[in-house]
Amino acid sequence: MAAASLTQKAYRHLQQQLSGGILLPGAVVSEKQVASQLGISRTPVGQAIRQLVSEGLMEQVPRYGTVVKEITRQDIEELYELREAMEPYAARKAAESISRAQLDQLAILCQSTEQLANDMDEQGADALEGDALREFLSTDLAFHLYILRAAANQRMLKIVRDSRFVSRVFRTRRARHDRKMVHAACQCHREIYEALCAHDGAASAERMLRHIVKSKEETLAFIDREKRNLSASEAFFSLDLSEELREQLARLEVFSEGGTE
């Protein structure tokens, strides 16, 4: 197998590990271990790792090695800003020349996410998890990338594809996809699809922008809630306790260890 193909094999393997929640923030990525898992040399693995470092998903820590990077609020905000700038334009351009075959493919993707939403309703599930979540994220990504392909701009496609993968890693690890969010996403996709069917560039761009802004607001709100909850927890455990309360807690600790007063 050619060296480039081996690098792509290692790259896809690591992407799957990241998006599947197997490689979590802070995890050390071993070239030797990955090479052994794939049955290839360390050289293509190292090249794949360097590519993921350049994309902001991993980082080199001196005297420690390569670790999976924690995706920050600023990272997410910047990625959504990039999408706000590019995807509405792509939707407008795609509306001008999108074919019936391309529209049929988008219809299939819409139906796939709608089926997942219906399954949630039938099962009484509060949120998507596991394979269902991965299927939703994959189908959601395919819908957006297909519109970019229809716009026939390969450079834009690559930029947005890379940014969407980073967002997907974050959403797989942390963001909750509850029933309301999933149904809202399905509705947005259906509205974008209908505008494309009508070859209405202005409506396609406006609906795409509205969809991305809504997703950004939901994701950032989730991050902010998590931060507030963490701050509240830290504040509770760092309280300046009175001497009397400290003594009471100390006595409780003695009792828990089987001692007597």
Residues 157-186: tens digit of each pLDDT: 888 887 776 666 655 555 678 999 999 999
* Tokens at 239, concatenated: 């309280």
Q: What is the pLDDT of residue 232?
A: 59
For CA atoms 172, 155, 151, 90, the dihedral sign is positive
Strands 58-61 and 65-68: antiparallel
* Tokens at 12, concatenated: 């896809």
Delimit the CATH 1.10.10.10 region(s) of the chain.
3-68
pTM of the full structure: 0.75
pLDDT score of 88 more than 70: yes
CA distance 87 to 153: 11
CA atoms within 13 A on the CB side of 183: 10
Q: What is the amino acid identity at position 139?
A: T
Q: Which CATH architecture has domain 3-68?
A: Orthogonal Bundle (1.10)
Mean pLDDT, to the nearest integer, of 240-256? 55
Delimit the CATH 1.20.120.530 region(s) of the chain.
73-224
Mean pLDDT, to the nearest integer, of 85-95? 97
Strands 28-29 and 65-68: antiparallel
Mean pLDDT, to the nearest integer, of 146-159? 91
Angle formed by the axes of helices 130-150 and 100-123, to 10°?
160
Range ranked top by mean pLDDT from 107-111, 133-137, 228-232, 236-240: 107-111
pLDDT score of 257 more than 70: no
**Are the C-beta atoms of residues 217 and 145 closer than 8 Å to each other?**
no
In order of 17, 38, 42, 43, 201, the CA distances from 35 in angstroms are: 14, 5, 5, 9, 47
Q: What is the pLDDT of residue 247?
A: 59
**Residues 118, 124, 129, CA angle at the centre, nearest 5°?**
80
Homologous superfamily (CATH) of 73-224 is GntR ligand-binding domain-like (1.20.120.530)
In order of 51, 59, 151, 252, the CA distances from 62 in angstroms are: 18, 10, 42, 44
CA distance 117 to 95: 27
CA atoms within 13 A on the CB side of 88: 16
Q: Share the mean pLDDT of the chain.
A: 85
